[in-house]
Amino acid sequence: MNALRRDVRSAFARAAERYDRWAGFQRTAAEHLLAAVAMLPAPDTVLDAGCGTGHGSRLMRARWPAAHFLALDFAPAMLAVCGVQHRLCGDTEALPLADGCIDFYWSNLALQWCDAPRFAREAARVLRPGGRLAVSTLGPATFVELRCAFADVDARRHTIDFCSVAMVQEAFTAAGLRIVSLVSEPVTCTYPQLGDLLASVRELGANRVRGDNRRTGLMGKVAWQRFVDAYEAQRTTQGLPLTYETIFIHAEK
């Protein structure tokens, strides 16, 4: 596990008890992800990979009440609050599961913290032949408003980078999965105050920037005010916007 993923795991562990307060976008993405597969025959065994607080598992259980659910996350504190009976602490890049043991692989907004080819290979490995996969992740146009506001302050990186649609498609195809559909859609959330918006980004873990050209340390008062003014200039009648480029992948082994 690389340093970024260790940082994100620590952030999620600290945020487990309050995570759902800021997870409106995550819930929206999960509902969209399920809508595309809701009419499939009920699977026998479902893996919720990167389950977080278990929202995805609860959605799927309402649709497929007879299925056997396994919730997996790399943050033990998330597993403690997820409410799924069968839980497993593990890494999506090295799943502690046997080959071909899963009928339906689900992962909502976990791929962006991973090496995409490793993630896809492990998903393909644990799926049985004919098994289905539903995954969502974030694309590079995510946080366009945030990046625009920070550009008024400096040229540093303030959020992590995200894979393009082409990179995601290549990873899953190379893993031997047949892409059923792959779409990218902008989802824009609005927040009444900048503090609420930034809290949602922190709870998502996307501020855990590593490598070159990242900002270190806190902004000074003048730089911070420039950032605030630049973001407030983007305010709409609904509030302060924050866009997520959301990539939805549905595939079959």
Question: What's the pLDDT score for residue 189?
Answer: 92
Question: What's the pLDDT score for residue 215?
Answer: 43
Domain 3-252 class, CATH top level: alpha beta
For the chain, what percent of residues have pLDDT higher than 90?
63
pLDDT averaged over every residue in the chain: 86
Question: What's the pLDDT score for residue 81?
Answer: 81
Question: What's the pLDDT score for residue 152?
Answer: 82
Question: What's the pLDDT score for residue 137?
Answer: 96
Confidence at 214, pLDDT banded by 50, 70, 90? very low
151-173 tens-digit pLDDT:
888 777 777 789 999 999 999 99
Q: In what order do the strands lie in the sheet with 87-89?
A: 87-89, 68-73, 45-49, 102-108, 127-138, 240-252, 178-191
222 is written with which tokens?
A: 């003048």
Burial 202-220 (b: 16+ CB within 10 A, else e): ebbbbbbbeeeeebeeebe
10-34 tens-digit pLDDT:
555 555 455 555 557 888 899 999 9
Q: What is the rounded CA–CA span in Å between residue 80 and residue 148?
A: 37
pLDDT greater than 90 at residue 207: no
9 is written with which tokens?
A: 């795991």
Confidence at 3, pLDDT banded by 50, 70, 90? low
pLDDT greater than 60 at residue 102: yes
Q: What are the boundaries of each domain within the chain?
A: 3-252
Which has the higher per-residue pLDDT, 114 or 81? 114
Question: What's the pLDDT score for residue 79?
Answer: 85
Question: What's the pLDDT score for residue 80?
Answer: 83
Beta bridge partners of 189: 242
Mean pLDDT of 58-64: 93
